[in-house]
Structure 1
Amino acid sequence: MEANALVFRCDDTPVENIIEHVIKNGPRMEASEARVIRAAQAVEGEVWSPQLPAFDAWASRGGSVATAAKDALEGVAADERGVADEAGLPFGTDGDLLVVGSLGMGITDEAREKLIRQAVQKRGDVSEHDVPVRGTVHLRDALGVRQDPDGYALTLFDLRLLSQACGSADGLVVALPAFVDGIPVVRIAAEAFARRLVQGVGVRLLVVPDTVTSIAEDAFSLLSAQRIHLGRNVRTLGKQPCDVAGVSPRLAHRAFSVEPGNGLYEACEGSLFDDGGRRLLFLASPYGERVDLPAGIECVTDAAFALGCEPPSVVNCSSSLVRVDAKAWDDAVWRCPDDTPARRPLAARGVRLAGASAVEQDGCWYDFDDEGAVLVAGPPPPASVSRRFAQEAALRAAALRGLEAGVSLSRREETVASPETLALPHEVEGCPLVRIGVRALPYAPATLVVPVCVRTIERDNFCRGTRRLVLSEGLQRIGAHCFCSRMLEAPVSVPASVRVVGEGSFEYAVCRLERTGSIVHVSADQLLSCFRDEATEDGVPFDFSCYDELLCSGKNLPDKLGAVLHRLAVPYRLSSRVREVLVAYLRSHEREAQERIARDGDRAMVAALSEAGFIDERTFDRQIELLRARNRTDCVIYLMDRRQKQRASEAAGQAEVPAARDRFAL
């Protein structure tokens, strides 16, 4: 049997015709053409015990530690050589990383690219379009099977070696062997298509013969196959996750098809189903901006969505959906009818849900309930730094290798850049906006304005990227883990109408509580949050006693000095004991505290620190000079008036008081 019967290239023939031909003429092999691992047998003269086939093979070669080390090094070298061949660069050079400068520290881009060009020229100007040299391939070196009680299991399929026989490494058709010595191949092992065996080879079509009944989990996860055809007798198909960016070469799309007559699995438009079409095993990729899940499915398995490609923004599903195990699209807006059984479990894990009446306006999605409009999802996030970095690397690598084809931008990056300000509307379709839903704003523009009609902001609205936050009076409840961008410009005004703030909110921020006028510094540790998630009698959503303990201990406060100054400036529910501890802390950091007062303090802070005893006769002169240098006239006038009144009071107290007899004398 020739290697071309297993792996060949056929660009002009339609895929359906190739499948029909391969299924009817399944490749048959002799036992001498493959590495056959026999079942374990007892050794003559000893009690039965299974022998290790790997050890037998190693021992037959005169196995030693040196031999094992040599085999390991040869395997590593083969993997590295495959990476270099795929990149079109000399062996041992990681071209992509060098191109973007990640490994090129110490030399300029021009010098690095010059060295790479020289290396390519020495290699013979071989580009990534050059194909391997056609040669003779021994099937025994490329194929391996294991003898099982009911047939053979395919354990080794060296696609890289077999591709050399057909002189191509892209667009190949792979026909898996159906028989070995007349015994059927009934199983495909997980290690059959290991990365070192398939890296750098693109497969147009992989045909699983009708003899195969079981396919192990992850058997095809490392294979760059655009289409996989399952035979009619496949009964067990393990989970087959697909990462289009994690295989080599990168996949543009993947689809499944099933031989007619398979009573368990079926395919429709490239998607794979079982259980009579009620379970979605894989949804054909790539995906558009909006995806409609096939009607009638009840379960979406955890490997149903391909990774490494742009996920959709909106997922439309029918009322039959009961369960969604896949979590790759949790950031999308799931439009489900109200009676869909999957709504409750999806909502429990924070998926953004919308009904059939949801509308899109200015890049945001809004739904409606009995109270009014609800923000379901804000505008999409901008392109990440890593994505822009990868695109630049690919463009420069392509230019260096002389390729004319560039790298197309994703659909989201082709759209207009997101605005710097998001001012949520007061009304949507005539209904007031009353609520911001769960995870509606995981990202937000630099400026976010919440209107007065909003009453509730639910949990997990992180608002990453937001710098300026405007919360209007009328807001009553803020859920847990909201506004955690760590870039909010201080202080963030928390309206007096707010009664509840969940844990972890305003992480690393400085907030002004309008109800008390206090400025508080939120700890970086979410477990040390002092906000109250339940309404209290005084209506203040902050636990000042807990905050005072945090100030005294100083745990995880990014700016303890500023926090102490602000706490003393507005001593709301501040005990005398805590006041003394905080003043003692300021005295231990006296010079820095005085400079901070002159730079950031106001008249109210200066007055409060004077009452607390930090600004006294000893520190008065230096504090006055620092305030004058900052042109803080109001603070200087206050301190001078206070000092004058104190001296006048002291002078009046030191004057002689006439005796009572003298005051009443005639």
Structure 2
Amino acid sequence: MAGDSLVFFDETTDIEALVAEAKRQMRRLSPNDVELTAAAQAREGEVWSPQLLPYEEWVSERAGEASASTEMLEGQEIGLIYTGAYSMGGISDEELNSVLERAMAGSHLARPESSAVLAPRLNGASGDELSIRDVVSVREDEGGYALSGFDLKSLARATGADDDLVVVLPAFVGDVPIVRITAEAFARRYVQGVGVRALIVPDTVACIDADAFSAVSAGHIHLGSGVERMGDMPCDLAGVSPRLGRRAYSVDPDNAHYSSSDGNLLTKDGAKLLFIAPPYASDFVIPAGVREIGSVALCTGCEPPRIVRCPETLDRVAARGWDDAVWICSPASRVGIALTARGVRLASDGVVQSDDCFYDFNDEGALLVAGPAAPKSISKRFAEAAAARHAGMADQSPSAAIKQAVPPARTMLSLPNEVCGRPLVRIGVRALPFAPETVVFPDTVRTIERDNACKGTKRLVLPEGLESIGAHSFCSRAFDGAVVIPKSVRFVGEGCFEYAVCKLAHTGSTVHISADQLLSCFCESGEDGVPFNYARYDELLLSGKNLPDRLGALISRVADPHRAPDEVCSALVERLRERGSDARKRVAQNGDRDEVAALLAAGFIDDATFDEQIELLRSCNRADCVLFLMEEHRRSNAAASRPSSSSRARFAL
């Protein structure tokens, strides 16, 4: 320990001992040691904020002149250059000197008196020693002072260390207590690059503003007995420098408003969980007695749990950082209803894990609650390795860690027919937000609930027997070829299969799906059992709105005009003729005999386009289509006897 220092290096002393010593010997600063700012007061009804005087007036006032003047005091110019360069942040003394030398080269600013003015700013008031006044600032507040500035970077440089530091905040300025820590006291420019092992808040502090410690890389924060109110304090382990591997809170036992347990921060009665200490176990248990989880209780920048087990007392979860986990709670409970409404996956205590998937059970059979987790990217693995090394949990460098062999990414998910002897009949809400390249559902599945986007899937096999597909499912936008929708499907929700090509087994039709949910053509099946609104689809084709492949959609629709009135068919053929050359090339490249026959019957292939279509089919080696067209031509022109030099005659049988 380091006596009454505000900041000192200590990597071995127990945290409890550090807190006890800080409580026994509270830091007291002299009024002459700090920069004191008088609190500004706005008049009633006035919107006021402090503003710097115009530049020329400020110079004149400092010079003691009555009128504005452009003449500066000695060293003022260099002071402005210094301030501008230093405010860039993260600049070393060597870099700063280089900036100043370039700025002053060939200028009158390079005079000796300017350097003399700058020297005290760089070295502190007494040469090598740093003045507390330069790094600690307070302002008047109700009941005492508010800590408004704490330059941890400067204090760390004076200490000679930038990691494993212990920060003991001052309790008094003279005989006046520090009762508040403002949001800007630990601004990022003051703390960037400094690792704090413990930050100790004295007993005199009653209020801590929101975000006051959010930029500090502090592994442990202790709240004194006097803290009555603390604003939201979000924690991003990856968003501070150096990156954190863990953070924990402790609270003085005499505090009447807050308490701590295992590094977690709670209200005094333990009913509200304000902060959950990371890192998190894969199977996380929320402490018993908790009724509410605060909005910033969950850290970001670390691996969240896959399962969260809730106590019966839990009523509300304001934080959303773990919405991708599986929550073990009753769907009928108050918290269960709220979590279900925002798409969180729920399960009972009987949930089982198999092949990296989680299954639950009900009266119908088995239910897929959550599929495999999305694979980690290289950047995420690097960040996790860096955090683990900095936190002392690993010795290996991040670069070496990402070069290690990892299990190959899963390419196929084939769900089982049975789980623990029960048939798999349902895919739960958001069970598959991500999925491997190939997903195969068993023929026992009857319902796929909403929000199963299957991001990353390229091949999808839906079973005959499936009856319902919930909204916003299968939005991969990466499917290879058409997705077959089984004849048994009676309902497809809005937003499904966006930007995909689907083949409806009910009619054999191929349809192209828009990504605009307001233009969704899926619906509940009508009398013919087809869950698709063809009339609306025809309107979409004629308008050309937001289709990934309008030409392909027009060709498919003209080739299979299911439920289309004659006037709509004629309009679709006209739209296709507007892109006649491109359409004929597409037919030659991708069409089959049945499609060519349908286009011929619809009138798209006629006497005017027959020769061009034949030549294109021949160049693509589509012999079956060529033979079909020539046979149709022979039948329709059997009575013709005059010779012809056209391609029809050349390819006639």
Give the TM interval when normalised to the shorter protein.
0.7 to 0.9
Residue range with higher mean Cα deviation, 194-203 or 51-60: 51-60
Please point out which of 278, 302, 306 is paired with 1:309.
302
Written as runs of structure 1 = structure 2, the 5 A alignment for 1:216-231 is: 216-231=209-224
The one-letter amino acid of 1:5's match is S
- 1:463 is matched with which residue? 454
SS in structure 1 opposite 2:36?
A: strand
The one-letter amino acid of 1:33's match is D
Q: Tell me the distance in 2 between the aligned counterparts of 1:150 and 1:382.
A: 53
Q: Are 1:536 and 2:526 counterparts?
A: yes
Listed one character per residue, the Cα deviations across residues 422-464 of structure 1 (whole Å, up to 9, x for unaligned) are 0111111111111111110010000000111111111111101
How far off its partner does 1:290 sit? 2.0
Please point out which of 485, 492, 496 is paired with 2:487.
496
Q: Residue 389 and residue 269 in structure 1: after superposition, are their counterparts in 2 closer, same or farther (change >3 A)?
A: closer
Please point out which of 359, 367, 370 is paired with 2:352.
359
Q: Residue 380 and residue 497 in structure 1: after superposition, are their counterparts in 2 closer, same or farther (change >3 A)?
A: same
Q: Residue 330 and residue 52 in structure 1: after superposition, are their counterparts in 2 closer, same or farther (change >3 A)?
A: closer
In structure 2, runs of 5+ residues without a counterpart are 99-126, 642-653
Residue range with higher mean Cα deviation, 156-165 or 355-364: 156-165
Name the Cα RMSD after superposition. Answer: 3.3
Using structure 2 for the length normalisation, give the TM-score: 0.84
Q: Residue 22 and residue 404 in structure 1: after superposition, are their counterparts in 2 closer, same or farther (change >3 A)?
A: closer
Residue range with higher mean Cα deviation, 200-209 or 417-426: 417-426
CA contact (8 A) 2:331 2:337 kept: no
Listed one character per residue, the Cα deviations across residues 131-164 of structure 1 (whole Å, up to 9, x for unaligned) are xxx9411011111111123111110111111112
Q: Tell me the distance in 1 between the aligned counterparts of 2:519 and 2:10.
A: 65
- 1:474 is matched with which residue? 465
The one-letter amino acid of 1:77's match is A
Residue range with higher mean Cα deviation, 579-588 or 272-281: 579-588
Please point out which of 122, 141, 146 is paired with 1:153.
146
How far off its partner does 1:629 sit? 2.8
SS in structure 1 opposite 2:334?
A: coil
How far off its partner does 1:50 sit? 9.4
How far off its partner does 1:83 sit? 6.5
Written as runs of structure 1 = structure 2, the 5 A alignment for 1:543-558 is: 543-558=533-548
SS in structure 2 opposite 1:82?
A: coil
Please point out which of 402, 418, 436 is paired with 1:445.
436
CA contact (8 A) 2:514 2:520 kept: yes
How far off its partner does 1:585 sit? 2.3
Q: Tell me the distance in 2 between the aligned counterparts of 1:84 and 1:312.
A: 40
- 1:660 is matched with which residue? none
SS in structure 2 opposite 1:617?
A: coil
Higher relative CO (Cα under 8 Å, sequence separation at least 6) belongs to 1
In structure 1, runs of 5+ residues without a counterpart are 43-47, 94-133, 652-666
Q: Are 1:259 and 2:247 counterparts?
A: no
CA contact (8 A) 1:335 1:353 kept: yes
How far off its partner does 1:647 sit? 1.5
Identity %: 50
Listed one character per residue, the Cα deviations across residues 51-103 of structure 1 (whole Å, up to 9, x for unaligned) are 95966996775699999998786556335452779xxx97899xxxxxxxxxx
- 1:581 is matched with which residue? 571
Q: Tell me the distance in 2 between the aligned counterparts of 1:253 and 1:206.
A: 14
Written as runs of structure 1 = structure 2, the 5 A alignment for 1:385-400 is: 386-387=379-380
- 2:158 is matched with which residue? 165
Written as runs of structure 1 = structure 2, the 5 A alignment for 1:512-523 is: 512-523=503-514
Q: Tell me the distance in 1 between the aligned counterparts of 2:40 and 2:357.
A: 64
- 1:659 is matched with which residue? none
Written as runs of structure 1 = structure 2, the 5 A alignment for 1:113-124 is: none
Q: Residue 569 and residue 264 in structure 1: after superposition, are their counterparts in 2 closer, same or farther (change >3 A)?
A: same
CA contact (8 A) 1:40 1:50 kept: no
Q: Tell me the distance in 2 between the aligned counterparts of 1:50 and 1:624.
A: 80
Paired residues, number? 594
How far off its partner does 1:373 sit? 0.8
- 1:108 is matched with which residue? none
CA contact (8 A) 1:258 1:266 kept: yes
How far off its partner does 1:336 sit? 1.9
Listed one character per residue, the Cα deviations across residues 523-557 of structure 1 (whole Å, up to 9, x for unaligned) are 1322211111x342221111111111111111111
SS in structure 1 opposite 2:398?
A: coil
SS in structure 2 opposite 1:374?
A: strand
Q: Residue 41 and residue 440 in structure 1: after superposition, are their counterparts in 2 closer, same or farther (change >3 A)?
A: closer
Written as runs of structure 1 = structure 2, the 5 A alignment for 1:199-218 is: 199-218=192-211
Q: Residue 445 and residue 90 in structure 1: after superposition, are their counterparts in 2 closer, same or farther (change >3 A)?
A: farther
- 2:33 is matched with which residue? 33
Q: Tell me the distance in 2 between the aligned counterparts of 1:309 and 1:389.
A: 12
SS in structure 1 opposite 2:595?
A: helix
Q: Tell me the distance in 2 between the aligned counterparts of 1:187 and 1:351.
A: 38
- 2:180 is matched with which residue? 187
How far off its partner does 1:598 sit? 1.4
- 1:283 is matched with which residue? 276
The one-letter amino acid of 2:328's match is R
The one-letter amino acid of 2:630's match is M
Q: Tell me the distance in 2 between the aligned counterparts of 1:371 and 1:450.
A: 17
Q: Are 1:590 and 2:580 counterparts?
A: yes
The one-letter amino acid of 1:333's match is V
Residue range with higher mean Cα deviation, 445-454 or 164-173: 164-173
- 2:85 is matched with which residue? 77
Q: Tell me the distance in 2 between the aligned counterparts of 1:437 and 1:41.
A: 57
Q: Tell me the distance in 2 between the aligned counterparts of 1:504 and 1:391.
A: 35
Please point out which of 612, 617, 631 is paired with 1:627.
617
SS in structure 1 opposite 2:541?
A: helix
Residue range with higher mean Cα deviation, 610-619 or 360-369: 610-619
How far off its partner does 1:416 sit? 3.0
Listed one character per residue, the Cα deviations across residues 334-379 of structure 1 (whole Å, up to 9, x for unaligned) are 1224664311100110011111001000000011111111111000
The one-letter amino acid of 2:551's match is L
The one-letter amino acid of 1:618's match is A
Q: Are 1:294 and 2:294 counterparts?
A: no
CA contact (8 A) 2:85 2:96 kept: no
How far off its partner does 1:404 sit? 8.6
Listed one character per residue, the Cα deviations across residues 381-439 of structure 1 (whole Å, up to 9, x for unaligned) are 112364368689x79xx9xxxx994128999x986334211011111111111111111
The one-letter amino acid of 2:34's match is A
Q: Tell me the distance in 2 between the aligned counterparts of 1:496 and 1:599.
A: 29
CA contact (8 A) 1:450 1:471 kept: yes
